[in-house]
């Protein structure tokens, strides 16, 4: 029992009262870590190699005594280096392995880590699992800090006040830390009365104010511009107070609101003396508001050499320069420094400059920067601020420019931004919209937000007089992309028939494509007949879908009938259709036609290997009873070589040519001519002369061909 009391007393010596949870003083850490440099080195090496720290500790423990204080020091060092997940891992291991007798500060440390790594809900569950006799002041203070830090609503406020009340009942309100949490919470909510109440309670309980207490109170008084109370409070506690930069800046704002410019500038100088890089953004803003251009640039020179430099700093600088009417300076910072930086593209920064241009009447510069910015692929944030800026001069806004912007964003596949622009165009109601505007938005909504939202937009937001052929056709295309919406597609198609919108090819193609996927031959045939009745000419999409339907059903007769009808149109079929037709030919034993039809050179080779099996190799193929051949004629060689050349497989054609042996007493020059013609097309004269041919190629007819 004495040992436990001693450990608790020892642990409390290291507890500090700042807003962050700390578990060991820096001197203790130095002693602990210098006591075992070997273990420290191994852990650091494991971290660098992203290896497991627990493995290092387990191995070390097997051959060495593991001091509990050393493990606590590891947790703290990992915490201080922002490796919170690793710190929690070691904390878990320390408890599971019972490395030491746990004291309230251990639980507080673990609570803090769980809160930051796994979230407050898990931290609350951990708190509830701790026996009440081990819930010391440090643990309750950690819980209260978490509630105060996250208080964004009535629930967290109630939890914070309940925890504070519980600490009061348990007699744990002996130090400034819990009071400071409540001061910070009430200050953020702007509750001046509660702040005064907390300060009175501290005085009644003889709890000494610390620097954090004073800073919290000063910020509250500054926020309500109570200059007299603010100055008196500062005078009363000046001896114990180190002013924070947030406090001095808030006090400066209070002085500005009060009209005390001299005192405001004095507070800015005090802020500078703190030399905290985090204060530089605020200093640039406030010097800008005070009209001090040279001071803005001076602070910028300090700020840009710090690690704190980011987009917020550029916003502070450019915003201040624009307030100071220094458009040239803002422009130079934007183009020469920010655009060249590697920071995330932040829409607020070009928006500032665009606004500055417009205020100076530099409309062309504003529009150029606006369009350039909205088309920038690095822009990931919403573009609404830019659009709002664009809409400020509505008299100069051209509908064509906005439509071009939407199209350009679509063409560059920046659909979310295009939808923002399209929606904004519809909402501002500055100029009349046309069906094509609704078509663009309908298409974008489907692609960005989904078909359900697109349906709602069609039903609720498009006026009936705007629902023309293009709008209905866009909706139909959406439905025909999936068999799940077949019924909706058919209903829209029927509606288009009623409205007289079926005089174009597109709706027919959409329905034929859907029916083709579903293998509905009868429906496809009916649509083709209706197209003929309306004198609507098919295109390559129509042909591909129709031929594929009959190919999949191995209806060779109908497939070839349609192919003959459309043969003079000389349209290129889709590869998937050509392959489906080749499969149909193969299934019926027409391997030569299959080779001539397929769009795959690998398929040509496979089919050829089947085709060239001789009668000696296969007298009768049981799987394919139609295979009965004694020899392969020149005609077949011409066919396979032609097929490979059509697929740009010259090497494959040359290999087949190498297999070829002339048949019959008369030599067939057509086979070699296929390759030689290709060589001439490619201007490869050398290969013409080196083509492997039997000596009798050089008869008079063939020689005349090669000497052309």
- Give yes or no for residue 1 having a pLDDT over 60: no
Do residues 106 and 71 touch, judged by C-beta distance below 8 A? no
- Predicted confidence at residue 606, as pLDDT, reads 83
Question: Rounded CA gap, 364 and 248, in Å?
Answer: 42
What's the average model confidence in pLDDT over 151-177? 84
Q: How confident is the model at residue 397 (pLDDT cuts 50, 70, 90)?
A: low
CB 222 within 8 A of CB 251: yes
CB 523 within 8 A of CB 480: no
pLDDT at 689 (0 to 100)? 57
460-474 pLDDT, tens digit per residue, is: 999 999 999 999 999
> How far is 84 from 81, CA to CA, in rounded Å?
8
Catalogue the long-range contacts made by 275-282 (C-beta closer than 8 Å, 24 or more residues apart).
276/245, 277/302, 277/303, 277/306, 277/307, 277/308, 278/245, 278/308, 279/245, 279/246, 279/248, 279/249, 280/306, 280/308, 280/313, 280/316, 281/308, 281/312, 281/313, 281/316, 282/245, 282/246, 282/249, 282/316
Amino acid 618: pLDDT: 47
- Of 537, 524, 527, the closest CA to residue 497 belongs to 527
Between residues 5 and 602, the one the model is more confident about: 602
Q: What is the DSSP string of 456-468?
A: HHHHHTS-GGG--
pLDDT at 154: 52
State which H helix or E strand residue 39 sits in: helix 37-48
Confidence of residue 33 (pLDDT cuts 50, 70, 90): very low
**CA distance linking residue 407 with residue 404, whole number of Å:** 5
The more confident residue out of 140 and 380 is 140
Lowest mean pLDDT among 88-97, 439-448, 678-687: 678-687
Select the more confidently predicted residue: 18 or 204.
Answer: 204
DSSP letter at 620 equals: -
Judged against a pLDDT cut of 50, whether residue 107 lies above it is answered with yes
Ranges 162-166, 690-694, 697-701: which has the least confidence: 697-701
State pTM to two decimals. Answer: 0.51
Asked whether 597 and 587 are in contact (CB, 8 A), the reply is no
What distance lies between CA 380 and its chain's CA centroid? 8
Would the pLDDT of 14 be above 60? no
Q: How far apart are CA 560 and CA 564, in angstroms?
A: 6
For the segment 577-608, what is each residue's pLDDT rounded down to a tens digit? Answer: 888 888 888 888 888 888 888 888 888 888 88
SS3 content of the chain, % helix, strand, coil (to 5): 70, 0, 30
pLDDT given at position 685: 59
Instruction: Identify which of 150, 151, 204, 139 has the alpha carbon closest to the alpha carbon of residue 177.
Output: 139
Looking at the predicted structure, is the pLDDT value of residue 4 above 50? Answer: no
Give the side-chain half-sphere CA count within 13 A for 589.
8
pLDDT above 90 (res 162): yes
Per the prediction, the chain carries an average pLDDT of: 80
The pLDDT, as a whole number, for residue 364 is 82
Task: State pLDDT tens for residues 44-80.
Answer: 666 655 556 777 777 776 666 667 777 787 788 888 8
- pLDDT score, position 701: 44
How much is the pLDDT for 204?
92
**d(Cα 550, Cα 524) in Å, to the nearest integer?**
10
Is the pLDDT at 638 greater than 70? The verdict is yes
Q: Measuring CA to CA, which residue among 586, 603, 593, 526 is closest to residue 563?
A: 593
Q: Distance (Å, rounded) from C-alpha 454 to C-alpha 465?
A: 18
DSSP 8-state code for residue 393: G
* Burial class of residue 69, CB neighbours in 10 A (0-12, 13-18, 19+): middle
Q: Are 668 and 689 in contact (CB under 8 A)?
A: no
Q: How far apart are CA 245 and CA 402, in angstroms?
A: 45
Separation CA 505–CA 537 (nearest Å): 7
pLDDT over threshold 50, residue 175: yes
Q: What is the DSSP string of 427-478?
A: HH-SS---HHHHHHHHHHHHHHH-HHHHHHHHHHTS-GGG--HHHHHHHHHH
On the question of pLDDT at 300 being above 90, the answer is: yes
Number of C-beta neighbours around residue 134 at 10 A: 13
Burial track 669-703 (b if 16+ CB lie within 10 A, e otherwise) = bebbebbbebbeeeeeeeeeeeeebeeebeeeebe
More confident position, 352 or 457: 457
- Count CB atoms within 10 A of the CB of residue 154: 8
**The predicted structure's pLDDT at residue 526:** 92
- And the tokens for 221? 């008084």
Mean pLDDT for 191-219 is 92
Is 356 a residue whose pLDDT tops 50? Answer: yes
Distance from C-alpha of 121 to C-alpha of 124, rounded to nearest angstrom:
5
Range of lowest pLDDT (184-188, 189-193, 396-400): 396-400
User: What Cα–Cα distance (Å) separates residue 620 from each residue in 511, 589, 609, 627, 633?
Assistant: 44, 13, 16, 6, 19
Report the distance separating Cα 198 and Cα 191, nearest Å: 11
- What dihedral do alpha carbons 602, 607, 608, 613 form, nearest 10°? 140
Least confident segment among 225-239, 284-298, 351-365: 351-365
8 A C-beta contact, residue 8 and residue 104:
yes
pLDDT at 44: 67
Q: What is the mean pLDDT of residues 199-214?
A: 92
Helices (H), 244-325: 245-258, 261-273, 280-289, 293-303, 311-323
| Nearest-angstrom CA–CA distance, 635 and 633 | 5
Look at 4-13, 391-400, 633-642 and tell me which has the smallest mean pLDDT: 4-13
pLDDT-derived band at 456 (thresholds 50, 70, 90) equals very high
Percent of the chain with pLDDT over 70: 80
Say how many C-beta atoms besides its own lie within 10 A of residue 482's C-beta: 13
Q: What is the pLDDT of residue 667?
A: 58
pLDDT in tens, 524-563: 889 999 998 899 988 888 888 888 888 888 888 888 888 8
Q: What is the pLDDT of residue 46?
A: 61
Tell me the percentage of the chain whose pLDDT exceeds 90: 29
């Amino acid at each position: 029992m004495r040992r436990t009391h001693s450990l608790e007393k020892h642990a409390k010596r290291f507890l500090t009262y700042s807003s962050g949870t700390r578990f060991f003083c820096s001197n203790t850490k130095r002693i602990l870590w210098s006591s075992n440099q070997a273990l420290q080195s191994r852990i650091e090496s494991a971290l660098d190699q992203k290896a497991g720290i627990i493995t290092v500790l387990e191995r070390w423990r097997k051959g060495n005594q593991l001091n509990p204080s050393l493990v606590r020091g590891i947790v703290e060092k990992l915490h201080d280096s922002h490796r919170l997940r690793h710190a929690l891992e070691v904390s878990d291991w320390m408890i599971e392995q019972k490395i030491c007798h746990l004291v309230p500060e251990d639980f507080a440390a673990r609570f803090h880590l769980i809160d930051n790594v796994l979230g407050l809900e898990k931290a609350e569950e951990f708190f509830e699992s701790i026996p009440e006799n081990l819930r010391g002041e440090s643990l309750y203070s950690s819980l209260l800090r978490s509630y105060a830090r996250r208080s964004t609503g009535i629930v967290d406020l109630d939890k914070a006040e309940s925890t504070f009340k519980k600490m009061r009942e348990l007699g744990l309100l002996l130090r400034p830390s819990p009071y400071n949490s409540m001061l910070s919470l009430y200050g953020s909510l702007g509750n001046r009365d509660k702040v005064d109440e907390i300060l009175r309670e501290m005085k009644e309980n003889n709890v000494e104010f610390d620097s954090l207490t004073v800073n919290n109170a000063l910020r509250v008084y500054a926020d309500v511009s109570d200059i007299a109370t603010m100055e008196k409070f500062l005078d009363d506690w000046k001896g114990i107070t180190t002013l924070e930069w947030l406090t001095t800046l808030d006090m400066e704002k209070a002085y500005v609101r009060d009209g005390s410019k001299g005192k405001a500038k004095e507070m800015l100088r005090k802020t500078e003396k703190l030399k905290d890089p985090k204060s530089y953004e605020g200093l640039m803003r406030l010097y800008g508001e005070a009209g001090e251009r040279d001071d803005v640039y001076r602070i910028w020179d300090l700020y840009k050499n710090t690690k704190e430099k980011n987009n917020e700093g550029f916003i502070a600088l450019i915003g201040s320069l624009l307030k100071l009417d220094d458009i040239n300076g803002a422009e130079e910072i934007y183009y020469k420094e920010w655009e060249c930086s590697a920071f995330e593209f932040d829409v607020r920064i070009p928006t500032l400059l665009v606004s500055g241009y417009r205020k100076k009447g530099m409309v062309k510069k504003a529009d150029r920067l606006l369009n350039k910015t909205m088309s920038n692929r690095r822009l990931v944030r919403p573009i609404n601020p830019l659009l709002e800026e664009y809409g400020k001069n509505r008299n100069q806004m051209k509908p064509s420019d906005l439509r071009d912007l939407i199209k350009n964003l679509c063409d560059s596949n920046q659909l979310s931004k295009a939808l923002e622009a399209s929606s904004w165009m519809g909402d501002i109601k500055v100029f009349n919209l046309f069906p094509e505007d609704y078509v663009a938005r309908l298409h974008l909504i489907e692609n960005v937000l989904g078909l359900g939202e697109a349906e709602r937009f069609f039903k609720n937001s498009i006026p009936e007089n705007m629902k023309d052929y293009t709008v209905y056709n866009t909706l139909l295309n959406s439905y025909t992309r999936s068999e799940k919406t077949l019924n909706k597609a058919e209903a829209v198609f029927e509606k288009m028939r009623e409205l007289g919108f079926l005089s174009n090819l597109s709706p027919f193609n959409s329905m034929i494509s859907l029916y083709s996927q579903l293998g509905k031959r009868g429906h496809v045939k009916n649509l083709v007949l209706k197209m003929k009745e309306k004198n609507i000419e098919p295109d390559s999409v129509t042909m591909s879908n129709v031929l594929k339907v009959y190919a999949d059903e191995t209806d060779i007769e109908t497939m070839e009938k349609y192919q003959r009808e459309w043969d003079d149109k000389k349209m290129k079929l889709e590869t998937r259709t050509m392959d489906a037709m080749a499969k149909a030919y193969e299934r019926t034993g027409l391997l030569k036609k299959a080779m001539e039809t397929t769009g795959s050179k690998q398929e040509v080779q496979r089919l050829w290997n089947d085709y060239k099996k001789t009668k000696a190799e296969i007298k009768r193929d049981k799987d394919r009873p139609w295979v009965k051949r004694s020899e392969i004629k020149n005609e077949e060689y011409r066919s396979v070589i032609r097929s490979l050349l059509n697929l740009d497989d010259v090497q494959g054609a040359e290999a087949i040519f190498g297999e070829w042996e002339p048949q019959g007493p008369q030599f067939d020059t057509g086979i070699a001519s296929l390759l030689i013609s290709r060589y001439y097309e490619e201007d490869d004269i050398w290969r013409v002369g080196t083509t492997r041919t039997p000596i009798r190629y050089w008869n008079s007819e063939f020689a005349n061909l090669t000497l052309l």
